[in-house]
Amino acid sequence: MIRLKNIVSGFMLLILSQSVIADADVEQATQVVDDFQAKLISVMKQGDKLNFEQRSAQLRPVLIKTHNMVRMTRAVMGRNWKGLIQEQKKQLITKLIDLSVASYAHHFSSFSGQSFTVKSVEKVRSQIYVKTFLVLPDDDVSIDYLLKKKGDSWRIINILSKGVSDIALKRSEYGAIMKKSGFEVLLAEISIKVENFSKD
């Protein structure tokens, strides 16, 4: 009887510990999104003092910290990823970091009362889905983040704006370029996008 009670107690403790871990995971994943969005707002509020390069310099470290850019690049390339040599993979990861930073530095360049708000947080298998809104003076825009744990930390692995996956858009576009023109042309096309974003 005592042994049965011990087994039941151990089982309940296991369930409770798993619940605590799950809650901690949700909290940590949400904090990753909060930290990233807080930096975006901070850069926007400094809009009249910072140029493109300065905004990029502030955004790059937090993007690298909160995003799993290796996984995101691999997802963007799909089946083309295996055909790349290691040096090409490194080049592409760097280019996509440059592109992401440039895009944020371009689009989040001034402040007029914008804010972010979390709508909901859902755990889906081994991933966490944080749904947020960018609150604008005239309209709200849904920006949702899919996160997966890497080691002890949660990282963003996909972003959906108005329900449209950034990974899916890039995979379609870049896959077509790779098929038609190859890797070097793809790098050149991404460089052009970065250059265009830099024109304040």
- Predicted pLDDT of residue 5: 45
- Predicted pLDDT of residue 88: 98
Beta-ladder partners of 149 = 154
Domains identified in the chain and CATH numbers: 2-197 (3.10.450.710)
> Tens of pLDDT along the chain (200 residues)?
444 444 444 444 433 334 433 788 999 999 999 999 999 999 999 988 999 999 999 999 999 999 999 999 999 999 999 999 999 999 999 999 999 999 999 999 999 999 999 999 999 889 999 999 999 888 899 999 999 999 999 999 999 999 999 999 999 999 999 999 999 999 999 999 999 999 86
